[in-house]
Amino acid sequence: MRFQNKNRRSKIAIVGGGPAGSSLAIRLAERGFEVTLVEREKFPRHKLCGEFISPECLRHFAELGVLDAMLSAGGERIFETRFYDQAGRSFSVPSNVFDDRGFALSLSRSEMDRILLEAARSAGVEVLEGAKISDVTVNDGSVIGLKAAGESDENKFISADLFIDATGRSTALTKLVERKLSPQTPRPNRSIAVGYKNHFRGISVTPGTCEIFAFPGGYGGLTAVEDGLVNLCFLIDSQAARKAGNADDLVAGVLSRNKVAARLMKDAVPVRDWLAVSIGSFGQAPQPSAINLLTVGDASAFIDPFTGSGMLMALESSALLAETVRSETSPEVLRERYRHDYDRLFSRRLQVCSLLRRAAHLPMFPTLAVSFLNLSKRSRNFLAGSTRSARGPSQETT
């Protein structure tokens, strides 16, 4: 099987309409591929996310033709990220460390994802919303097609030359395919952390600042989004989550042990139901067994949220895959080329984040780290830059 990018003959099916899936669909459609994108939800929809869009993402938005729409959607421009230990000591990382544009963007996922999905439609992508993958057809180690069931429960069969799993940490498409290829393979069901998210009124965050605070067993972040709302997203060890109970109890009994978080959340009023998700692993996910199935975004690797680079990895990996697919080649060669380039681009930052995650659980590490990094601008910028690869860290010193 070879891919042809002339006269829209090559067909590519993408499952998952988040930033990785939608941005990949746009790039592939603009390169002449026939693209179908399947999304199980109806947009706009509330999504668990820190809703921090790193400055480097704005370059991708410009390439995708959505930058003006993103900047005019009512989000907050973020000029610094400030990290607090439990006692309130802090250090900050300016947004211009990562990109000359000088600011990040805080915008709800419901709005950001809606803009990207509409852009995919405008680029000629066939978008199926509210459609769940009910079955996959596999033959000789390759995916042949998918069955997508919509609101009417009418199945639509989608055939393609190449299939992309952009379903995030759930890797829903990959799991369906693996069950077909290896029905007896045990399915791990463990949880090492739980993420929570809600929007609030009554929180006065520092304008232009993303505020990150540590607490026993985890960390959280507050950023202003559109409509006067503030997004709270936090991650906590699964054992601590079980002990505390529900999200409101966690905020009152655990997050409030951070002095800054307690002050900011004192008069907070939630405006939606809490979202929660169990997290089974960080870092790179196993590569799918099917020859013509590739992954992108969080389905490829889940980077620690404290880096603020999850959205960036989604957009970077989709740009990388689109460029790889652009070359006419066999699925086997395409698969190896993408994996090689993916490792080259992301392995270092994933390793750095793994080391930081392990160190964060050592006694007194957050306090010592804040004290040290508060004294050295070079160290702050170097550490921040190590979680990215698009641009090296600033060389400015105090």
Distance CA 374, CA 331 (A): 49
- pLDDT above 70: residue 362: no
Of 89-98, 231-240, 314-323, minimum mean pLDDT range = 89-98
- pLDDT above 70: residue 9: no
Q: How many CB atoms lie within 10 A of CB 169?
A: 18
- In the three-class reduction of DSSP (H, G, I as helix; E, B as strand; rest coil), residue 339 is classed as helix
Distance CA 88, CA 213 (A): 8
76-106+191-279+362-398 and 11-51+108-188+283-358 share a CATH fold: no
Residue with the bigger pLDDT between 300 and 329: it is 300
Q: Determine if residue 228 is left, alpha or beta; phi over 0 gives left, psi from -120 to 50 gives alpha, anything else beta.
A: left
Distance CA 136, CA 145 (A): 6
Please calculate the CA angle 91-97-99 and round it to the nearest 5 degrees: 145
- pLDDT above 70: residue 299: yes
pLDDT confidence bin for 16, thresholds 50/70/90: very high
pLDDT confidence bin for 378, thresholds 50/70/90: low
Torsion sign, CA atoms 180, 14, 274, 95: positive
CB–CB of 244/162 below 8 Å? Answer: no
The whole-number pLDDT of residue 183 equals 78
CB–CB of 297/18 below 8 Å? Answer: yes
The whole-number pLDDT of residue 349 equals 87
Q: How far is CA 268 from the centre of its chain?
A: 26
Within 13 Å of residue 65, how many CA atoms lie on the same side as its CB? Answer: 13
The DSSP call for residue 73 is S
CATH architecture of structural domain 11-51+108-188+283-358: 3-Layer(bba) Sandwich (3.50)
The whole-number pLDDT of residue 49 equals 95
Rounded to two decimals, what is the model's pTM? 0.89
The whole-number pLDDT of residue 182 equals 85
The whole-number pLDDT of residue 309 equals 87
**Is the backbone peptide bond immediately before 305 cis, with ω within 30 degrees of 0?**
no
Distance CA 347, CA 133 (A): 31
Torsion sign, CA atoms 58, 59, 63, 68: positive
Closest alpha carbon to 120 in 357, 387, 322: 322
Residue with the bigger pLDDT between 191 and 73: it is 73
pLDDT confidence bin for 342, thresholds 50/70/90: very high
**Angle formed by the axes of helices 57-64 and 19-30, nearest 10°:** 40
pLDDT confidence bin for 370, thresholds 50/70/90: low
Q: What share of the chain is helix, strand, coil (3-state, %, to 5)?
A: 40, 25, 35
Phi, psi values for residue 337, rounded to 5°: -65, -45
Distance CA 398, CA 391 (A): 20
How much is the mean pLDDT over the chain? 87
Q: What is the pLDDT of residues 68-103, one digit of tens each?
A: 999 999 999 999 999 998 889 888 888 988 877 889
The whole-number pLDDT of residue 363 equals 53
Identity of residue 298 = D
Q: What is the pLDDT of residues 103-148, one digit of tens each?
A: 999 999 999 999 999 999 999 999 999 999 999 999 999 999 999 9
Residue with the bigger pLDDT between 7 and 233: it is 233
Q: Where are the domains of the chain?
A: 11-51+108-188+283-358, 76-106+191-279+362-398
Query: Where would I find the H helices in the chain?
Result: 19-30, 57-64, 67-71, 109-122, 172-181, 238-244, 247-253, 259-264, 310-326, 331-360, 365-373, 377-385
- pLDDT above 80: residue 31: yes
- pLDDT above 90: residue 152: no
CATH assignment of 76-106+191-279+362-398? 3.30.9.100
And the tokens for 97? Answer: 């460390």
Q: What is the pLDDT of residues 47-61, one digit of tens each?
A: 999 999 999 999 999
And the tokens for 119? Answer: 């852009």
And the tokens for 14? Answer: 């993408």
